[in-house]
Amino acid sequence: MKQILIIGAGFAGLWSALGAARQLDLHGRDDVRITVLAPQAELHIRPRFYEPDVHNMAAPLQALFDAVDVRFVKGTAYRIDEASRSVAYREPGGREASLGYDRLIMACGSQLNRPDLAGFEHAFDVDKIESAVRLEEHLKSLAALPPSPARNTVVVAGGGFTGIETATELPSRLRAILGPQAGLRIVVVDRGARIGAALGEGIRPAIEQASQALGVEWICGATVASVDGEGVLLDNGQRIDASTVIWTVGFKANPLTEQIHGERDHQGRLHVDGNLKVKGNDAVYAAGDVAFAACDEVGNHAVMSCQHAIPLGRYAGNNAAAELIGVAPMTYSQPKYVTCLDLGAWGAVYTEGWERRVSPPTDKAEAKQLKAQINSVWIYPPAPDRASALAAADPLIPVA
């Protein structure tokens, strides 16, 4: 029996499995086994880790895998041998084992780029569910401390998408913990020359308005030079006393990609062709945050987001299965790009296009409703019903 092995059970891994299962089902094939290798059979809803109650943001997958005849293996991959087409992994108890493959789909995601920075161990992040829970527990523990400027101050390093959503959510999170009268100071430190510089001019006015309304302060043109247990020192010499420092700067592909023969971009993502096969590689596909994939014919490439991970997974799974059973693959295409940036209690802002033009719904309340729907419905896995789950894996279903 031929084997499709998928490393990762995130958005790309889940939808790779469903995409492959759909392709096999369409052709009535039962001679190809699909296996997902990951530390747990659950989808961590990473785009929501800036919110409270993070411990609830994991969706179970085992029943869904069972419904579509996908085998799940619990373990962490640590070595890929392309010559023997095998992946070595460690089970939770430490025992080592391996799995073979005819086609491998790299869907192992990305991780925060942790800098060699003095005192970085004092910083928090919202990269993984465990670290986001650690942050939440820390924030709740602040209530036991005597009021002080440092206790009430949070420094968010990085003014990109994650940093902005984290910072604008913090006023309501902290007031729920410290009381409505607490004198809070939320500071975003960003190397960009202007507020929200990384996201472009179209979206910047909304970020400025929300920041002003929520009391979120920006220090632009600066970076964090060092962190300690009582705050940060910036590269401009400014000291900020803060009991909480949250790092949101920079992401890179899972280091497992370094074991795959192929070209990589500056984030470690594998260059793939139109079918999402790693260029120059006979048996390996890539999807999600580890794939440097062209979305259109004008030079835009997928970004590290579930908006791209979901369809990338659908196509990668479809094409890996198609190749094994001898049917035509489908060329990945996702020309439409949108963003819906959560701006806390102020609302949200919706944009269309790579230049991020603010578009309907332009009303901040309507955009907030859309964001809530995205976060609570659209990005969650389908129900464990075979017919509906396979139907949802059609690569031609538009995501944005």
Question: pLDDT tens, 17-30?
Answer: 999 999 999 999 99
In Å, how far from its chain's centre is CA 341? Answer: 14
pLDDT at 362 over 90: no
pTM, 2 dp: 0.96
pLDDT grade for 359, boundaries at 50, 70 and 90: confident
Cα(291)–Cα(302) distance, integer angstroms: 8
Tokens (6 digits) for 192: 């960009």
| The pLDDT value given to residue 361 | 62
pLDDT grade for 287, boundaries at 50, 70 and 90: very high
pLDDT (mean) for 367-380: 95
| The pLDDT value given to residue 400 | 62
pLDDT grade for 91, boundaries at 50, 70 and 90: very high
pLDDT grade for 398, boundaries at 50, 70 and 90: confident
Cis peptide before 361 (omega within 30 of 0): yes
| The pLDDT value given to residue 253 | 98
- What's the half-sphere exposure (Cβ side, CA atoms, 13 Å) at 261? 9
Which residue matches tokens 């308005």?
209
Contact (CB, 8 A) for 85 and 102: yes
Cα(368)–Cα(289) distance, integer angstroms: 26
pLDDT at 281 over 80: yes
| The pLDDT value given to residue 97 | 98
Q: E strands along 319-376, which residues?
A: 338-342, 348-352, 357-358
Buried b (16+ CB within 10 A) or exposed e, 115-149: eebebbebbbbbbbbebbbebbeebeebeeeeeee
Question: Could you give phi then psi for residue 379, rounded to 5 degrees?
Answer: -90, 0
Per DSSP, the three-state class of 177 is helix
pLDDT (mean) for 205-221: 97
Q: Per residue in 124-159, pLDDT tens?
A: 999 999 999 999 999 999 999 999 999 999 999 999
pLDDT at 168 over 70: yes
Tokens (6 digits) for 235: 């590269």
| The pLDDT value given to residue 134 | 97
- What's the half-sphere exposure (Cβ side, CA atoms, 13 Å) at 358? 16
| The pLDDT value given to residue 399 | 72
| The pLDDT value given to residue 66 | 98
Cα(215)–Cα(171) distance, integer angstroms: 8
pLDDT at 83 over 70: yes
